[in-house]
Amino acid sequence: LPKEAHETGMLSLDKTKNKGELKQWLKEKDGVLSWKLDGLTIVLTYEKGRLIKAVTRGNGEVGEVVTNNAKVFSNIPLTITYKETLVLRGEAVITYSDFEKINKELEEEEKYKNPRNLCSGSVRQLNNEITAKRNVHFFAFALVRADHRDFENSREKQLIWLESLGFEIVPYKKVSGDNVEKTVENLERKIPEND
């Protein structure tokens, strides 16, 4: 696959498993708490309302161009109403139920270890007919660039706007220091049933 440098580098995020640290980090601010989906991060670029490019995260600075494969994801809009340059990030995933269905059809030595590996292999196929059969979903999680749009530094407003354009967005909850610990606990309880 051809390689291409990202316009804006994708850095790793800080991590914590301590809900108290998250509460401390928020302080008096509101935040957006969402699932961390385990798939393959993809950067989409639209020009004049058309999908023109899809690039994997790669090493955060350079990724692989997978535009033809992204065009056959089950839920990516190929055209949108916004006509200026739009760059967004999201996660390509294959659900656990689709993973199990696909793995059953493969020979033992071809089976994938987990949905993330299956998704990565599916998105990086040279033949997008294979990708199309794998039912890859895309969940937008970050807006990188939207010319002449002001979201008042609000991640929630960005996500709502992306959803209005036809993108499926990563499910999220609005949180504050007062409720973030309880909200994390509620999400933790839903992990086993999250396909």
Question: Are residues 44 and 183 in contact, defined by beta-carbon separation less than 8 angstroms?
Answer: no
User: Mind listing the pLDDT tens digit for each residue in 18-62?
Assistant: 999 999 999 889 999 998 898 999 999 999 999 999 999 999 999
Distances (CA, A) of 134 to 68, 94, 97, 112, 141: 14, 8, 11, 13, 22
Cα 133 from Cα 146, distance rounded (Å):
32
CA distance 6 to 45: 11
| 86-107 confidence digits (pLDDT tens) | 999 999 999 999 999 999 998 9
For the full predicted model, state whether its pTM sits above 0.75: yes
Q: Let me know if 36 is a catalytic residue.
A: yes
Distance, in Å, from the CA atom of 182 to the CA atom of 137, rounded to the nearest integer, reads: 29
Considering the candidates 17, 27, 36, 104, report the single residue annotated as catalytic: 36
